[in-house]
Chains A and B, each alone.
Chain A
């Protein structure tokens, strides 16, 4: 596992009106790592992802990519182009477009929108799309409209759309929500195959078995604060965590 920091979060505070969504959060995620973020609903997991991707601005604290790119001030599109890919809770693909075109859009990464009118995809880009289609297992469906895919397939397509852009950081928000057993299994394999020394993966999930199989480290959030951090084993036996999940 590489020692370079991918995401650096320090003393993060996010408030919505009177409600404190995140309080004094400090987190560091390294390249090559797969980190799981767990916690009850309302713990601040999605808010954290919002802050990282630029959807929400923090009230105070530091959020950096590579310790150099300040994510608190950049726009969503710019952050995405810098290599942070986010998969949403609800599968968000372009339903009207065929699978291949979804990927074609994603591979351009929003660069040169003027050139989009004229330019075709480069060979490199087309190869990448083919690769990813194999990775996510949708090579047979490339001409199918995304709307016609199953729920699980849509999730994989979304992950695929992030992959074609070769992200440094992958944020996956509940990737197996609503999936069948078989689909979940495939997803575990998929995410495991995404591990790379040049990539950090952050997964938000409720399915503990999934987390156990996929994550290196687990961070537990509760009411906007970091409750605990460690391996799945350690977290599972942590008294505070147990209380939070099973107690109130």
Chain B
């Protein structure tokens, strides 16, 4: 992989990188508690809206982590991680449909429109939460496995691979938009009431979910970081920089790629599963090609190959997006475009890389 102007691709490195994301995660864990601890009216109280936002951003950061793992470290740019996010999200959606039905005994709207009188048997396996979680991860890994196997065995790399993932995303989106499929069609799945017995509409549930998302993010971050520092991580970097060389050293590189890829798929699905209960809906738009590219943009802006940069990028851009979409909605695409252009042209190592650079310069002078 060609190098940037400033410095060659970095491997994954040490303790100093924990700082910022650890801080973020602590903040993210603590903030939602402000909602619970302080009552409304208190200046430090955080509205449910903000808590929810924090939780969503944690999920996006998780998704960005998944992509950076496979792009920054392994060198495989996937523009289709929305697929796995969507798989996780829809599976969680199925589970929540089960819970809602068990709770209210009323079929979801889209099922009524289709003329169904009973809850479909195909969705019943998702009624049990642990089972649903497992199924979601397994399904994501399976889909990822098939795609990875086909692509890596065929030595499809680089931009061809990226384009193919976009095409797959598009196909999945079309599939989910199909109203006859019984998966909600263009309206998606909604009408969720309960999760594991807790009422989704209650503030305390949402607070718990937001904090949980932060915890999961932290856990996955440390796990991935550990991996990146291990020999497996070294091998991933080697695959990124000179796959042929690694092969000629005796490594089965397509297995390495497949393993990392499937792990990334699982993490993305996890992010989707945490996301859906917090927004209360899942629809095919989540699998749009544009959103999948946006994830890559978060990672690029934050600084790819650093894991911390992915979190940073996701957080900053999501905050920006939410803020701008509320204030000046039509400005958001231009702002995003501008930042992306700036980063790709001028700051190839992203914001995090820029920070490192600053630190290095300061150390020298």
Knowing A94-B237, A94-B245, A96-B241, the reply to whether A116 touches B232 (Cβ < 8 A) is yes
Instruction: Tell me if B252 is interfacial: C-beta within 8 Å of chain A.
Output: yes
Knowing A97-B11, A97-B238, the reply to whether A110 touches B252 (Cβ < 8 A) is yes
**Contact across chains for B9 and A95 when beta carbons are under 8 A apart:** yes
Instruction: Count A-side interface residues using an 8 Å CB cutoff.
Output: 35
Knowing A104-B234, A108-B231, A113-B235, the reply to whether A95 touches B248 (Cβ < 8 A) is no
A85 CA to B249 CA in the complex, in Å?
A: 7
Chain A residues, Cβ within 8 Å of B344 = none
Instruction: Tell me if B99 is interfacial: C-beta within 8 Å of chain A.
Output: no
**Contact across chains for A88 and B251 when beta carbons are under 8 A apart:** no
- Per a CB cutoff under 8 Å, which of A53, A88, A97, A119 touches B234? A97
**Contact across chains for B238 and A77 when beta carbons are under 8 A apart:** no
Which size class do B's interface residues fall under? 20 to 34
Chain B: CB-nearest residue to A158: B245
- Per a CB cutoff under 8 Å, which of B246, B248, B252 touches A53? B248
Most buried by B among A53, A97, A110, A165: A110
Tell me, rounded to whole Å, the shortest Cβ–Cβ distance linking B155 to chain A.
Answer: 11
Tell me, rounded to whole Å, the shortest Cβ–Cβ distance linking B297 to chain A.
Answer: 23
* Interface window among B25-33, B46-54, B253-261: B253-261
- Per a CB cutoff under 8 Å, which of A92, A97, A117, A147 touches B230? A117
**Contact across chains for A113 and B252 when beta carbons are under 8 A apart:** yes
Chain A residues, Cβ within 8 Å of B10 = 96
Q: Chain A 64-97 against B: per-residue CB contact (8 Å), 1 yes, 0 no?
A: 0000000000011110110001101000111111
Chain A: CB-nearest residue to B230: A117
Tell me, rounded to whole Å, the shortest Cβ–Cβ distance linking B240 to chain A.
Answer: 8
A92 CA to B243 CA in the complex, in Å?
A: 10
Instruction: Tell me if A35 is interfacial: C-beta within 8 Å of chain B.
Output: no
Chain B: CB-nearest residue to A171: B248
**Contact across chains for B244 and A77 when beta carbons are under 8 A apart:** no
Instruction: Tell me if B3 is interfacial: C-beta within 8 Å of chain A.
Output: yes
Known contacts A113-B256, A117-B231, A145-B8, then 5 further A-B pairs from the complex at CB < 8 Å, ordered by chain A residue: A88-B245, A88-B248, A92-B242, A105-B251, A117-B227
* Interface residues in chain B, defined as those with a beta carbon under 8 Å from any beta carbon in chain A: 3, 8-11, 227, 230-232, 234-235, 237-238, 240-242, 244-253, 255-256, 259
Instruction: Provide a sorted-by-A list of 13 A–B residue pairs whose CB atoms are within 8 angstroms.
Output: A77-B253, A80-B249, A94-B238, A94-B241, A94-B246, A95-B8, A95-B9, A96-B240, A97-B11, A104-B231, A117-B230, A118-B230, A165-B250
* Interface residues in chain A, defined as those with a beta carbon under 8 Å from any beta carbon in chain B: 53, 75-78, 80-81, 85-86, 88, 92-97, 101, 104-106, 108-111, 113-114, 116-119, 145, 147, 161-162, 165
